[in-house]
Structure 1
Amino acid sequence: MSAVFTAALIARHSEKAVSVNGEKKDDGTAVIQWPFQGGDHQKWNLEATTGGYYVVRAVHSGKALCVEGESTANGGKVIQWGHVTGPHQEWRLVQKDNGYFALQNRHSGQYLSVNGECTDSGTALVQWPGGDGHHQQFRLG
């Protein structure tokens, strides 16, 4: 059994939580930022795999944080998906400063990012190169 810990992921630039849109349990549901309200759709189980990577699963659905279609493109959409099939569903925590981390996707090498550096509730999460922007850094809550 792999090591597991549970946490919310709070964006540095907006103080909003990585959340499954509408608390839905369907495969393909978008992952967005939303004010943290303590719901299980805003909490994530991080399950260690290999090489310092984790499968990050929504507590409410058990589905993994995933780059849609195994995309390696800038702006690839981040969704939840039930069946874990590969490295597009694995993330590494890259330590930044003041207790923040960037989450790097194993398949693409890109980072979990709030689209367009937006602070609005409901903004989609995507993958994007870099990892140094505050919209790409999260604290564990």
Structure 2
Amino acid sequence: MIKKTASVHWEGQGKHGQGQISTETGALTNYPYGFASRFEDDRQGTNPEEILGAAHAACFTMAFSFACDKAGLATTHVDTTASVALAKQGEGFVIERIDLTLSASVPGIDDATFQAIAATAKAECPLSKALAAVPEITLKATLI
């Protein structure tokens, strides 16, 4: 089993508190986040939804590239965006949907095969599986 670790340190109360996110690789080291970077337009910190989107996009992109490789097709470049929608629900919030947008160059593939591989990669990606409670995860895949 492979284990990866991230940690958070938080100081202060609720809206006025501030957190710092770190990962074992050092990709994030004491990276700030708080109410303003999550619910307002503060661009000086990150937020859980942005990190979740990055993780999902990264996982799906690798799954797609590996699936193409398995089919004997080489990806020359793959770009994925994940848009995570956080919505108010009762007194709390819920991740309502995640929209994946894939753009890829795969020489020698037809669009039907491309779409099938992309859909399978979305279904088989470990993060997609982990996020099964999200009501809607969409995929728009464009072959370049």
Q: Same fold (TM over 0.5)?
A: no
Bigger strand fraction: 1
Larger CA Rg, structure 1 vs 2 = 2
The TM-score, its normalising length taken from structure 1, stands at: 0.28
The TM-score, its normalising length taken from structure 2, stands at: 0.27
Higher normalized contact order (CA 8 Å, seq sep 6+, divided by chain length): 1
Bigger helix fraction: 2
